[in-house]
Amino acid sequence: MAGAIRQDRVAESIKRFISTMVYSDFGGTPADMITITHVSVLQDLRAAKIYYSTFKPENVEKIQEYLDSNLKNIRFKLASHLSRLKFVPEIKFVYDDSVDREIRLEKIFEAIKKD
pLDDT at 12 over 90: yes
The rounded distance, in Å, linking the Cα atoms of 112 and 115 is 5
Listed in sequence order, the residues at least 6 apart from 14 whose beta carbon sits closer than 8 Å to its beta carbon are 39, 41, 48, 50, 78, 82, 89, 91
The mean per-residue pLDDT over the stretch 87-99 comes to 92
| Residue 98 one-letter amino acid | S
Closest CA to 17 of 64, 63, 82: 82
What local confidence, expressed as pLDDT, does residue 29 receive? 85
Number of structural domains in the chain: 1
Tens digits of per-residue pLDDT, 14-46?
999 999 998 888 888 888 889 999 999 999 999
Q: What residues form DSSP beta bridges with 103?
A: none
Q: Which residue has the higher pLDDT, 10 or 31?
A: 10
- CATH (domain of 17): 3.30.300.20
Q: Which amino acid is at 105?
A: L
The pLDDT value given to residue 42: 94
Instruction: Give the pLDDT band (50/70/90) at residue 70.
Output: very high
- Report the chain's mean pLDDT, rounded to a whole number: 90
| Domain span including residue 38 | 4-114
What are the strands of the beta sheet with 47-54, ordered from one edge? 34-41, 47-54, 90-95
Given this model, what pLDDT does residue 13 score?
Answer: 95
